[in-house]
Structure 1
Amino acid sequence: MQTILAHAHSLMYTILALMPSHYQRDSLEAMLGLFLEAEGKPLPHYSKTKSESALSRFLNHYNWSTRKIISHLRAFVIELILKQCTLGRKPFLQVIIDITTLEKTGKFKAFNHLITFFNHKRGLHLVVLYLVVGQWRIPWNFRVWRGKGTTTPAQLALKMVRRLPKKLTLTFQVKILADTAFGTVEFIHGIRQLKYHAILGIGCNRKLVDGRSVKHLYHRGQQVRLVGLDVTVSVSWYYFKTDKGVFLKRYVISTTPLKACTINWWGKRRWQIEGWFKTAKHRFGLDKFGQCTLLGIYRWLILSLTAFLLAHWTYLARYYPHTLDWGQAAFLALSTFFPVLLLSLLLLDIERLRPLALSHGIDITISRCKM
């Protein structure tokens, strides 16, 4: 696992080299440093090494390629995942799809058409494609849902599934896991055309061809025909415990025949993405953007996801399989990838507290040691 950090160091040097000037390299380091504080508030206002206005220009106006950063990150992720493959049966690639809301209040003139309501929440709605293979957790792609009357979340998800790299889909057994919003006829047909296997949530009122609803079924694992589908699917259900301790009944279908216990096991795996949503928002500030341009928002989201990946890789190299503490993992990522930035922050704190130390008879002297 230690080789992960060596390769990740090389990746970060490459990404920093994409910046047109050293001022923008410093700004990129400062922004990633804010995200890696893992306190959920990586706002430019809190930066101690760059001014708020400089970081705002970096995010919203300066000419640097966000696409190249994404391309390098994806190539690195694919390379690492493929190295973990062994001879024998193909391992599973879990492709988990869900929609999350980055809640917002107030007016956003530049992108007000993207701020809509979904499930009684106002904000920017992201359809996210999240990959899980072995110990790897990778937010791979996302699309913005623009509200009713536009491309549906299921259609956006199907487009992202179609664009999964062949290097992964040919190496792994692809398993599509998604919630009720993606259990549409169009999505199921699209997944079957791609020859992928899907475990999807459906509503309890989903109709069968015989007129009954799935809630009237009594035997898990039955093969049934849903209205609008020209193929049979296997249906099961399980009880999910919410954060409030309430058990909810969840119905799931499998596009290929499976035992009920197997369908339920895979159906519960979908909830892994919910844990990532919480981590991305509460630790890495995914929803805290306040930029005035669409480009600024896009860059904010990409840098937040980059910070998550850096912390995740550090955890895999230093902690796995021990208990994960995202705060500690993020701090180690900061000290590993940006040691000069971390030391600069330390020196700034010492300088700020020097008068207080002197008032208590403590003189702090910093000198460079000979190498």
Structure 2
Amino acid sequence: MESILVHAQAIVYTLLGLMPTAYQRDSLQALLGLFLEAQGHPLPEHSAIKSAAALSQFLNHYDWSTRGVIRSVRQQIVQELLRTRHRGRRPWLRVIVDLTTLEKCGKFKAFADLILVLQGKRGLHLVVLYLVVGSFRVLWGFRVWRGKGAPSAAQLAVRLIDTLPSTLVQAYRVVVLADTAFGSVEFLKAMRKRRYPVIAGVRCDRKLSDGRSVCNLVTKGQQVRLEGLDFPVTISWLYLKREGQWEKRFVLSTRPLKASTILWWGRKRWSIEGFFKTAKHRFGLHRFGQQTLKGVYRWFVLCLVTFVLAHWVYLSAGSSTLPDWGASATLAMKLLLPEVVICLLLVYLEQARPLFQSLGLDLQLVEVKT
């Protein structure tokens, strides 16, 4: 797995090369270092090596290509996925779509129309596309849901899925895993047109073509026709415990599968929930405080890049245990951003100089010549 570490290093070198000036390269490294502290609060004012004003300028105003960053990272992701594909039967590529809310309070004048209330949560709502192959997982892209009158979450999900490159789709067998919000007629028809099988949640009151509701079904794995669909789907269900009570959850498949297989695939969707928790509480995805939409967008992009770096460093270690995101991020900082580690160490030593002097000691840095 050493080559995946090479790809992680290539991402960092490429991103630094996209920065127009040395000053901006330093700001980029400082921000990546903040995210890789993995404490959940990578705010610019917490940086020890760059001022908050400098990092704010870098995010909100400086002229560097955000699209170039996205393209470069995606290129490395595709290369890694193609490199690790085994010969023989094409493996499954789990394409997971979901909607998450980055809860916010306060006023955001530059993008107040994007701060909406959905299901009782106020904030910025993102439709996210997440790719999983074995232990390899990565966020591919996101779109901001803009409320009524704008493209729906399902329409945004279709657009995200369409951004997957043909080389990737040809190398893998794609299966789309989705929440209940993406089980609409429009979404299912769009995926059928693209020949992608879908495993998605379905509401219990969803109408069948014969007038019954999904909750009236008594046999798992039964093929039925949903109202508005001109092709059959297979439906099963499971029970989840919520607040001490068991809830019956229905799952549909656009492929004719056994009930147990549908539920097996349906449970695979939950891996994206672990990603949301990690991205928010470890890497601070929801901690954006910029006053421009460009700044918020760049915050999301750089935060998600650091998640990829930490995950790939974890994979390079070849561990079979669940990732310790704090340890993986710390190791990623040491391996990929050594200059940031040295700068932080020097800042700490300078701050500790009075302590050394109080003990009658002096601290000096001496260049070692080889």
- SS for the counterpart of 2:130 is strand
Aligned to 2:317: 318
Q: Which amino acid aligns with 2:20?
A: P
Return the offset for 1:219: 1.1
Aligned to 2:108: 108
Aligned to 1:54: 54
Q: Which amino acid aligns with 1:229?
A: L
Q: Does 1:287 align with 2:286?
A: yes
Q: Write the deviation string for residues 79-120 of structure 1: whole angstroms up to 9, x where unpaired.
A: 011011122111000000000001111111100011101110
Aligned counterparts of 2:272 and 2:222: Cα–Cα separation in 1: 27
Aligned to 2:156: 156
Aligned to 1:9: 9
- SS for the counterpart of 1:287 is helix
Alignment of 1:54-73 (within 5 A): 54-73=54-73
Q: Write the deviation string for residues 197-255 of structure 1: whole angstroms up to 9, x where unpaired.
A: 0001011111112222111211110001111111110000112345x565432111000
Aligned counterparts of 2:87 and 2:336: Cα–Cα separation in 1: 33
Aligned counterparts of 1:113 and 1:203: Cα–Cα separation in 2: 29
Q: Does 1:165 align with 2:157?
A: no
Matched positions, count: 370
Aligned to 2:257: 258
Aligned to 1:297: 296
Aligned counterparts of 2:335 and 2:240: Cα–Cα separation in 1: 39
- SS for the counterpart of 1:281 is helix
Aligned counterparts of 1:268 and 1:247: Cα–Cα separation in 2: 16
Q: Is the 8 A contact 2:223 2:235 kept in 1?
A: yes
Aligned to 2:18: 18
- SS for the counterpart of 2:287 is coil
- SS for the counterpart of 2:204 is coil
Aligned counterparts of 1:207 and 1:261: Cα–Cα separation in 2: 23
Q: Does 1:34 align with 2:34?
A: yes
- SS for the counterpart of 1:348 is helix
RMSD, matched Cα: 1.3
- SS for the counterpart of 1:170 is helix
Q: Write the deviation string for residues 35-90 of structure 1: whole angstroms up to 9, x where unpaired.
A: 00000111100011111111110000000001111111001110011011122111
Return the offset for 1:149: 2.5
Of all paired residues, the percent bearing the same amino acid is 55
Aligned counterparts of 1:60 and 1:53: Cα–Cα separation in 2: 10
Aligned to 1:94: 94
Return the offset for 1:292: 0.9
- SS for the counterpart of 1:142 is strand
Return the offset for 1:136: 1.1
Aligned to 2:193: 193
Return the offset for 1:7: 2.8
Q: Does 1:205 align with 2:205?
A: yes
Q: Write the deviation string for residues 20-46 of structure 1: whole angstroms up to 9, x where unpaired.
A: 000000000000000000001111000
Q: Is the 8 A contact 2:8 2:313 kept in 1?
A: no
* Range moving further from structure 2, 207-216 or 342-351: 207-216
Aligned to 1:309: 308
- SS for the counterpart of 1:33 is helix
Aligned counterparts of 2:71 and 2:362: Cα–Cα separation in 1: 49
* Range moving further from structure 2, 147-156 or 327-336: 147-156
Aligned counterparts of 2:255 and 2:244: Cα–Cα separation in 1: 32
Structure 2 runs not aligned, ≥5 long: none
Return the offset for 1:367: 2.7
Q: What TM-score do you get using the length of structure 1 for normalisation?
A: 0.97
Q: Which amino acid aligns with 1:210?
A: D
Structure 1 runs not aligned, ≥5 long: none
Q: What TM-score do you get using the length of structure 2 for normalisation?
A: 0.97
Aligned counterparts of 1:9 and 1:209: Cα–Cα separation in 2: 54
Q: Which amino acid aligns with 2:232?
A: T
Return the offset for 1:361: 4.5
Q: Does 1:136 align with 2:136?
A: yes
Return the offset for 1:362: 4.6
